[in-house]
Amino acid sequence: MPRPFDADWIDEIRVNLSAVERRTATLPARRSVKKDAQAAWLLKAVSCIDLTTLNGDDTEGRVRRLCAKARQPIREDLLQALGMGDHKITTGAICVYHRFVAAAVDALKGSGIPVAAVSTGFPAGLVPHDVKLREIEASVKDGAQEIDIVVTREYVLTGNWKALYDEMRDFRQACGDAHVKAILATGDIKTMKNIAKASMVCMMAGADFIKTSTGKESSNATLPVSLVMLRMIRDYYERTGYKIGFKPAGGISAAKDVLNYQILMKEELGRPWLEPSLFRVGASSLLADIERQLEHHITGRYSAYNRHPVG
Amino acid sequence: MSVAHYFETMDYGTAPEADSEARGWLAKHNHRFGHFIDGRFVTSTSKATFETREPASGKSLAAIAKGTKADITKAVAAAKSAQPKWAKLGGAARARHLYALARMVQRHARLFAVLETLDNGKPIRETRDIDIPLVARHFYHHAGWAQVMDREFPDHDPIGVAGQIIPWNFPLLMLAWKVAPALAFGNTVVVKPAEFTPLTALLFAELAHEAGLPKGVLNIVTGDGDTGAALVDAPVDKIAFTGSTEVGRIIRAKTAGSGKKLTLELGGKSPFIVFDDADLDGAVEGVIDAIYFNQGQVCCAGSRLLVQEGIANRFVDKLKTRMAHLRVGDPLDKSIDIGAIIDPVQRSRIDALVKKGVSEGASLFQPDCKLPKSGCFYPPTLLTNVAPASTVAIEEIFGPVLVSMTFRTPEEAVALANNTRYGLAASVWSETLSLALDIAPKLKSGVVWVNATNLFDASVGFGGYRESGFGREGGREGAFAYLKPKSHTNRKLRKALVPLREATSVTAPNDAVAIDRTAKLFIGGKQVRPDGNYSRIVLSAKGKRIGEVGEGNRKDIRNAVAAARAAEAWSKATTHNRAQILYYLAENLSTRANEFAARIAASSGVTPSMAKREVQSSIERLFTYGAYADKFEGAVHQPPLRGVALAMKESIGVVGVICPDEAPLLSLISLAAPLIAMGNRIVLVPSERSPLIATDFYQVIETSDVAAGVINIVTGSSLTLAKTLAEHDDVDAIWAFGDRKLSTLVESSSIGNLKRTFVDEGYATDWFTPKTAEGPDWLDHAVEIKNIWIPYGE
């Protein structure tokens, strides 16, 4: 829900990098999730994965295979052994380029799994503004329920917050009923202050989620960057009562890593932000590691990749 | 609990750290420990024991020997006999031993961590990630000091045997802070661990000897307050104490005049200042680390939150939200933030203070967090609507209790922050560099963390101002706590001067031709009559009346201290400016050299050439300290973080100076000059025997642009005036040179505000030898070291 641009909200933002780093360096050591709790948390993480393929060699076949994995991310017998056979565990979404939206929607029919489309000239976002809007509209028309947009980094790097706001507001409008996730490309905009301010501007302009990275920048999601964005989400919630979601993307490939993100969500924002409605993880190889960890939890033996079906 | 349950609730579940190794170690010792003396466990002479308990459950962990005077005697004897050999080993060999201790701690890190958590009740997260790694770091760092001691401290020797009394809040870490520097610099030690938490010290001693530490170098005598008192009374060369200000006072009184070196690391009520341009979320997290770390049982806990008024509501709301996420419970659980309070006694004290705060009008906030049903726990607590006059804003609570107040301007923040008897640590939060770096030097505390809190490192000195104690632990500044100047090794007691007796036969009426000169007191830049309006007769060395000086009394001291307090601008003057004044004093003294020489000769009976030499040496000394005024600088420490710690040398404030009788001008200058060079303002009691030199000297002061109140001179009875100065709570330090009686009096009278003392215990100083009578050893006593931690990064 967009609200009017308010420069004060941007100007008063302060972020101390050392303090941010201290928090994220100690947090994983302050919380430990073991045994049944860990299995549950990892299953929850699966339900928050935006299972993603964003490569130049993607094809419809590849996307349909991924969709099949999204429907059945964990082997049936493992779910039974965990006492979770009656839970319908799927990934949070499938995330693809516009070209494959229609195929994905078709492949996921009846599953309730939404299709997310990266958009607005992903990943650099330097195509003309009207082309960006048309791309969004096309994906929505093909059935995408979620649109992952990229912001114009130049606006952030030059402190042109009003331009960023206007751009985001247009994207929001073009999305219609689809959810919109704003990718800040934190690896490009670099400083914590930029990240915090861009987060606030995008939320103000109507983003439903804020997302760290495209996965194509030199650095991906990190805990410090995420902490700064989460604190902006909290601020926005305190100011407006609206809960905005968070999506770290890129570089999260180990089960241990995703647990740290979940702990961060729970500690900084609270329980509601552990559900797929407010938390997504953009990942491609994370799922395989979670599958192995879950099997280890059940059998007590370390597992191997070949025991779990690929996407 | 099932997977499905957790999937629904997303609770953390439990994550207990295994304690079988630690309990195995206790069982190996049959849950019974003697003292560790001369390289082995010995039973106590009294057979008396007490129990050490697990705060989280209240259950007994082991029976501990209650040390007696005889045990202490034995341990001190072992340390004494081991010390010469330990010192003679040399720095390089000692470095290997300390290195071995560091490695030993790392090899057994988890055992130490778990045992500490069992005995103390603090979360395993803290012992594992903070206490024990810092212990290892401290031994590594000090292995380095041992290695380079000869080059870095060529003019210093070990002190000898140190008695070290350790608190219960960081049992092994505080042992490391004391043992590592002591051993590195060639001392041996007798350690008295806290009654509540003796176990890790015993484990440390056992493993240290397995790691090859020679017997007698490290001795542990367990026990209670009586055992500690016996150690304080024992013939050791130094007492190092960390604990309450109350016990610190007792120790100061007991050691007065004994010649034992003393460092005290005591309580605090440290301010945590948040400006409206701070990273508020970062600061909230800082508050959590400041006051809920170690259940708030931390001497430097940021227990007084000062928030700028405009953001106070928002900040407190954020803090309350954050507090709701704190988890209190089994300290061995890896997901616990707040463990058990050390003992029910402490818990009741905390609770009583909180109730008192509420009865005085504070609003209580405790998040809805589950406490274990048994064991000794207290919820994280925030008291708002607290005024500086509230008990909870004044008293150290030593528990997880934060009090919050607001301020309007930076000036008021400083005033509120300094409105305490303590001065250990402070935390300043602002994203404006110029503001934070303006505030840090204005805070009366030994440590200031800028946009951070509770950072510690072996390379950075830690210690307090005011009633938080004296001495520093860690880094170069901490080294001097375990070193003494080589020149002190063969010091001789000062020879008593033959008392002057008025030679009645030679008494002559005043020379009616000369104009009468009335020597007055010099207070606040003015010559003033003594309050009592009595004078005392001054005799020459031959017993002839050579004049009269004012008989200063308590009120004159009071006035002089008030004048010195008001002369604060001197402490802020540039070092260049202070140097100029010292040179100017020298210049003006030199123009009157002959007059002063004549006065010295008449007054102390030395030959004219000796008197001349004394004046020349005094001029030289002023030049020396003029030189040092802008050269005795601080240091930039590089602890392991992205940032620096600035070790700033600051003036102490108002310092009393009692001058000895010998070399009356030179000794006066030798004591006054380093103090004023470093920005202190002084109240000086000149030689009781030769006061006219000082009353002549105020004319030099008057012509040398010395600001009013920087140097105040009160003549009269040294002992009487020394007592008043030592007892004065607005005097920050006192230097007293004279006979041993004076040292004892000054030290025992200083306990009111625990002012720093610098006394000679009646030993003579050769004032004419620059190597012994001037330089950094003296300047060290004229400054406080404040470490300002500045993490940075964008």
Residue A241: left (phi > 0), alpha (psi -120 to 50), or beta? left
How far is Cα A102 from Cα A149, in angstroms, rounded to an integer?
18
pLDDT in tens, A259-297: 999 999 999 999 999 999 999 999 989 999 999 999 999
Please name the residues in contact with B757: beta carbons below 8 A apart, sequence gap of 6 or more.
Answer: B726, B733, B734, B735, B736, B746, B747, B750
Which residue out of B2, B3, B644 would a mutagenesis test of the A interface target, given it has the greatest number of A Cβ atoms within 10 Å? B3
> What local confidence, expressed as pLDDT, does residue B6 receive?
98
User: pLDDT value at position B511?
Assistant: 57
Instruction: Identify whether the C-beta of residue B472 lies closer than 8 Å to the C-beta of residue B756.
Output: no
CB contact set of B779 (below 8 Å; sequence gap of 6+): B628, B632, B674, B677, B678
Q: Is the pLDDT of residue B504 over 90?
A: no
User: Inter-chain contact B278–A33, Cβ cutoff 8 Å?
Assistant: no
The one-character DSSP state at B8 is: H
Q: Which residues of A touch B433 (CB under 8 A)?
A: none
Radius of gyration of chain B (CA): 28
Mean pLDDT of the region B100-115: 98
Chain B residues whose CB is inside 8 A of the A26 CB are 129
Interface contact B125-A19, CB threshold 8 A: no
Q: Which pLDDT does position B496 carry in this prediction?
A: 87
| Letter string b/e over residues B299-318, b meaning 16 or more CB atoms within 10 A of that residue's CB | bbbbbbbbbbeebbeebbeb
Q: Which residues pair with A95 in a beta bridge?
A: A52, A116
Q: What is the pLDDT of residues A216-242, one digit of tens each?
A: 999 999 999 999 999 999 999 999 999
Mean of per-residue pLDDT scores for chain A: 97
Q: A–B: how many Cβ contacts below 8 A?
A: 108
Of B286, B335, B794, the CB nearest to A19: B286
What is the model's pLDDT at position B300?
A: 97
Phi and psi angles of residue A244, each rounded to the nearest 5 degrees, phi first: -105, 140
What the block records as the tokens of B413 is 């923040």
Query: CB-CB: which of B281, B285, B334 is closest to A32?
Result: B334
Identity of the residue numbered B387: A
For residue B510, name the pLDDT band (cuts at 50, 70, 90).
low
> What proportion of chain A, given as a percentage, has pLDDT over 70?
100
Q: Is the pLDDT of residue B508 over 70?
A: no
Contacts of A16 in chain B (CB under 8 A): 278-279, 282, 429, 431, 451
Per-residue pLDDT at B509? 54
pLDDT value of residue B1: 82
CB contact under 8 A, A267 and B15: no
Residues of B in contact with A226 (CB under 8 A): none
> Closest residue of B to A230, CA-based?
B281
Residues of A in contact with B278 (CB under 8 A): 14, 16
Q: How confident is the model at residue B608 (pLDDT cuts 50, 70, 90)?
A: very high
Q: Do B13 and A44 touch (CB under 8 A)?
A: no
Is the pLDDT confidence value at A132 over 70? Answer: yes
Interface of A with B (CB under 8 A): 14-23, 26, 29-41, 43-44, 82-84, 87, 191-193, 231, 234, 238, 262, 266-267, 271, 274
Count of residues for chain A?
311
B649 beta partners = B785
Average pLDDT over residues B171-182: 98
Directed axis angle between helix A255-268 and helix A35-47, to 10°? 90
Inter-helix orientation angle A223-240/A192-204, to 10°: 40
Q: How many residues does chain B have?
A: 794
- State the complex-level ipTM: 0.98
Query: What confidence category does residue B78 fall into, taking pLDDT thresholds of 50, 70 and 90?
Result: very high
Mean pLDDT for B688-715 is: 97
**Which chain A residues are Cβ-neighbours of B13 within 8 angstroms?**
33-38
- Mark yes or no for CB contact B3/A192 under 8 Å: no
Alpha helices, H only, B108-131: 109-120, 124-126
SS3 label, residue B546: strand
pLDDT of residue B489: 86
Report, as an integer, the average pLDDT of B557-561. Answer: 98
pLDDT-based confidence at B180, cuts 50/70/90?
very high
Nearest CA in chain B to A238: B318
Judged by CB atoms closer than 8 Å, whether chains meet at A34 and B15 is answered as yes
Distance (Å, rounded) from C-alpha B173 to C-alpha B338?
19
Q: What is the mean pLDDT of residues B392-407?
A: 98
pLDDT (mean) for B186-197 = 98
- Which of A29, A84, A271 lies closest to B3 in CB terms? A84
Per-residue pLDDT, A1: 77
Hey, are the CB atoms on A23 and B129 less than 8 Å from each other?
Answer: no
Q: What is the mean pLDDT of residues B125-145?
A: 98
Asked whether the beta carbons of residue A30 and residue B791 sit closer than 8 angstroms, the reply is no
Verify whether the Cβ–Cβ distance A32 to B792 is below 8 Å: no
Beta pairing class for B483-485 and B469-470:
unpaired
Note whether B570 and B681 are within 8 A (CB).
yes
Which of B7, B287, B789 best tests the A interface by mutation, with the highest count of A CBs <10 A? B7
User: Has residue B512 got a pLDDT over 90?
Assistant: no
Instruction: Say if the Cβ atoms of B15 and A26 lie within 8 Å.
Output: no
Residues of A in contact with B1 (CB under 8 A): 36-37
Residue B791 with chain A: CB contacts under 8 Å: 18-19
Q: A40 vs B451: CB contact, 8 Å cut-off?
A: no
pLDDT digits (tens, 9 = 90+) for B241-288: 999 999 999 999 999 999 999 999 999 999 999 999 999 999 999 999
CB-nearest partner of B13 from A35, A87, A271 = A35
Which residues of chain B have a CB within 8 Å of the CB of A20? Answer: 279, 282
Measured in angstroms, the CA of A15 and the nearest CA of chain B are apart by 5
pLDDT in tens, B316-334: 999 999 999 999 999 999 9
**Mind telling me how many Å the CA of B446 is from chain A's nearest CA?**
22
Coil, helix or strand at residue A127: coil
Contact predicate B256/B180, CB 8 Å: no
Residue B24, exposed/middle/buried by CB under 10 A (0-12, 13-18, 19+)?
exposed
Determine whether the interchain pair A23/B277 forms a contact, defined as Cβ–Cβ distance below 8 Å.
no
* Residue type for position A11: D
Asked whether the predicted pLDDT for residue B791 surpasses 80, the reply is: yes
What is residue B516's predicted lDDT score, i.e. its pLDDT?
80
Alpha-carbon distance of A281 to A209, in angstroms, equals 11
CB atoms within 10 A of CB B438: 14
Q: Which residues of A are catalytic?
A: 148, 211, 247
Residue A203 tokens read as 């939320």
Residues in chain B whose Cβ is within 8 Å of chain A: 1-7, 10-15, 125, 128-129, 277-283, 285-286, 289, 317, 325, 334-335, 337, 429, 431, 451-452, 641-643, 791-794
C-alpha pair distances (Å), B192 with each of B166, B175, B222, B251: 6, 9, 6, 14
Please, what are the domains in chain B? 21-266+478-485 (3.40.605.10), 270-463 (3.40.309.10), 502-644+651-783 (3.40.605.10)
Which of A14, A18, A83 has its CB closest to that of B642?
A18
Chain A residues closer than 8 Å to B128 by CB: 29
Count CA within 13 A, CB hemisphere, residue B735.
30
Q: What is the pLDDT of residues B353-371, one digit of tens each?
A: 999 999 999 999 999 999 9
- Residue B12: which of A18, A31, A238 has the nearest Cβ? A31
Residue of A9, A16, A233, A290 to mutate when probing chain B, most B C-beta within 10 A: A16
Nearest CA in chain B to A268: B322
pLDDT tens for each residue of A80-97: 999 999 999 999 999 999
* Residues in B touching A256 (Cβ below 8 Å): none
- Distance CA(B263)–CA(B266), nearest Å, equals 10
Q: What is the mean pLDDT of chain B?
A: 96
pLDDT value, residue A245: 98
- Reference A98, options A48, A140, A50; nearest CA is A140
Q: Which residue has the higher pLDDT, A161 or B510?
A: A161
Single-letter amino acid code for the residue at B547: G
Tell me how far apart the alpha carbons of residues B423 and B442 are, in angstroms, rounded to a whole number: 12
Nearest chain B alpha carbon to A273: B10
Q: Which domains does chain A have, with CATH numbers?
A: 7-307 (3.20.20.70)
pLDDT, greater one: B483 or B515: B483
The strand pair at A93-97 and A49-52 is best described as parallel
Q: What is the DSSP letter of A181?
A: E
Q: Which of B5, B9, B10 to mutate to test the interface with A (most CBs of A within 10 A)?
A: B10
Q: B513 pLDDT band (50/70/90 cuts)?
A: low
Instruction: Say if CB B357 and CB B392 are below 8 A apart.
Output: yes
Cβ contact, residue pair B278, A35, below 8 Å: no
- The answer to whether residue B461 scores a pLDDT higher than 90 is yes
Consecutive H or E run containing B398: none
pLDDT at B725 over 60: yes
Whole-number pLDDT of residue B203:
98
Say if the Cβ atoms of B277 and A14 lie within 8 Å: yes
